[in-house]
Amino acid sequence: MLYILLRTGGSTVTTMIRPLLLDTDQTVDTQLIEAPTITTAGTAVPLVNANRVSSATPLSLLYTGTTGVTGGTTILNKVYGSGTSTRLGTFHRIDEQEFVLKPNTDYVFKLTNVSATSVVWANWLLNVIEIVG
């Protein structure tokens, strides 16, 4: 099981997310959980402002290695993969709607192996956008 935490910024920022792509060698269950209880946030991952005409610092925070995730509201839950992929490049396009996220709220991306074989690798591409103001 893998958890990634996105902690959204305050009320002066609108944070949006859209799952785009999943690449894995096994069948996995993906979930996006809103406002769960978290024991440990984990290790911070630096975010980059991709708007090259703005000097704003991202207000949301991203963490890997999140632990102790319980409760919350599951707002996305899908199973992807066939359990037969043996190489990179066997992508599963995720055509999910964009979510406008609540400010000052924790969102956890949860990836669970549902196959009989261990997951060797998994790549999950998520587009996160912040609009300040």
The tens-digit pLDDT sequence of the chain (133 residues) is 889 999 999 888 899 888 777 777 778 888 999 999 999 999 999 888 888 888 888 899 999 999 999 999 999 888 877 655 555 445 555 656 788 999 999 999 998 988 877 877 777 777 888 887 6
How far is it, in rounded angstroms, from Cα 51 to Cα 13? 15
Structure letter (DSSP) for residue 10: -
N-term to C-term CA, the chain: 36
Beta partners for 15? 101, 130
Q: Which ranges in the chain belong to alpha helices (H)?
A: none
How far is it, in rounded angstroms, from Cα 107 to Cα 89? 28
pTM of the model: 0.86
Contact by Cβ (8 Å): 80, 90: no
